[in-house]
Structure 1
Amino acid sequence: MTTTDYLISAALILLVIPQMRGGRLTPRTLLLPLVSVSAAAAHYLHSFPTEGHDVQLDLFGVTMGIVLGLASGLATRVSVTEDGAAYSKAGWLAALLWVLGMGARSAFVYWAEHSGAHSIAQFSRDNLITGTAAWTAALLLMAVTQVVCRLVVVRVRAYRLTSPLVTPAVA
């Protein structure tokens, strides 16, 4: 990993700080994680290999991103302020899930470039995964999916709390 790789990984992991501080849900709080993960994808993603079992690897990455994003979104507190604005604040579980997802990808890349290279190469050969481009695509799809799913869950929950069109269920 280069210094740039470490900085990008750290920036994605540190996106948890504004989530834990909490704040109003604004276009900025929507765009910051989307722009960050999109920039990382644009920097690293150069192709989507589809040979062998590369697509299955991508689907696994997407599935893991969905699981982490949904769980993180559900573990985020969403409320309404006195003036009717939506507010969100990530708790410890949401932060842990975020760091787990973002950090695991960085740890995997570090391991792949060091002591795990032989193991990953053997696993790739055994499972018809074509190489580093396939792993890169799967890991980036996981990151993008995690971010998008978390944002969707938080925004839908906020919409349900703030929309006059959504009426609370009568007990």
Structure 2
Amino acid sequence: MTTTEWITDIALILVVFRQLREGRLDLKSFLIPLGIVAFVAHTYLDGVPTAGNDLVLVGALMAVGAVLGVAGGVYTRVRALDGHILVKAGAVSAVLWVLGMGARMGFQLWVEHGGGADDVARFSVAHHITGDQAWVAAFVLMALTEVVTRLATIFLRGRLVPREQQAPAANHLLARP
């Protein structure tokens, strides 16, 4: 793994630790994780292969990302206090986040340094997965899906906080159309 890969993988894992402390739900809460996964997607995603069972692999890992993201959002505490919406990742949310992001990093380490390349190659041939780019796309889109679904779940839960308890700035961020 390159230094950039290490930094982005670790940054994605550490994002949840920022929310272990309760803090305001604001634009920064959304932009930091979205910015990191956007950078990862731009850097590593050259396209989504569609041959063989590549889309099945991509879809399966995106589904895992969606489940982890929604569950992580559900297990994040969202409440109003003094007119502000506050969020705090619970232990379950943090474990799910680290599991999802860590699995991708662990897979990459296993393939590159742990002798897993031959196993992945055999699995790919047996299941008609066309190559490395299918795996890259699947894991990058899994991470992107986990981030987006977690943030969407938190956003929607924030909209359910009674309006009279929210500050004007929070009302603007979570305004209903």
Q: Residue 63 of structure 2 aligns with which residue?
A: 63
Q: Deviations over 1:75-96 (max 9, x none)?
A: 10010012x2111000111000
TM-score by length of 2: 0.89
Structure 2 unmatched ranges of 5 or more: 165-177
Q: Deviations over 1:109-156 (max 9, x none)?
A: 111112100000000000000111000000011000000110011111
Q: Residue 151 of structure 2 aligns with which residue?
A: 151
Q: Residue 89 of structure 2 aligns with which residue?
A: 90
Q: Residue 29 of structure 1 aligns with which residue?
A: 29
Secondary structure of the equivalent of 2:130?
coil
Secondary structure of the equivalent of 2:49?
coil
Are the counterparts in 2 of residues 86 and 162 from structure 1 also a CA contact under 8 Å? no
Alignment of 1:113-152 (within 5 A): 113-114=112-113, 115-152=115-152
Are the counterparts in 2 of residues 25 and 88 from structure 1 also a CA contact under 8 Å? yes
CA distance in 1, matches of 2:22, 2:126: 45
Change (3 A) 1:162 1:31: farther
User: What residue identity is the alignment partner of 1:108?
Assistant: F
CA distance in 1, matches of 2:102, 2:65: 13
Secondary structure of the equivalent of 1:161?
coil
Secondary structure of the equivalent of 2:140?
helix
Q: Residue 109 of structure 1 aligns with which residue?
A: 108
The Cα RMSD (Å) is 1.0
Q: Deviations over 1:20-47 (max 9, x none)?
A: 1121111111111111111111111112
Alignment of 1:72-91 (within 5 A): 72-82=72-82, 84-91=83-90
Q: Deviations over 1:30-77 (max 9, x none)?
A: 111111111111111112110000000110011001100011000100
CA distance in 2, matches of 1:162, 1:30: 21
Following TM superposition, the consecutive aligned residue runs of length 4 or more in structure 1 with deviations greater than 6 angstroms are none
Q: Residue 167 of structure 2 aligns with which residue?
A: none
CA distance in 2, matches of 1:33, 1:3: 19
Structure 1 unmatched ranges of 5 or more: 165-171
Q: Residue 167 of structure 1 aligns with which residue?
A: none
- What is the number of residues matched between the two proteins? 163
CA distance in 1, matches of 2:124, 2:75: 34
CA distance in 1, matches of 2:28, 2:60: 30
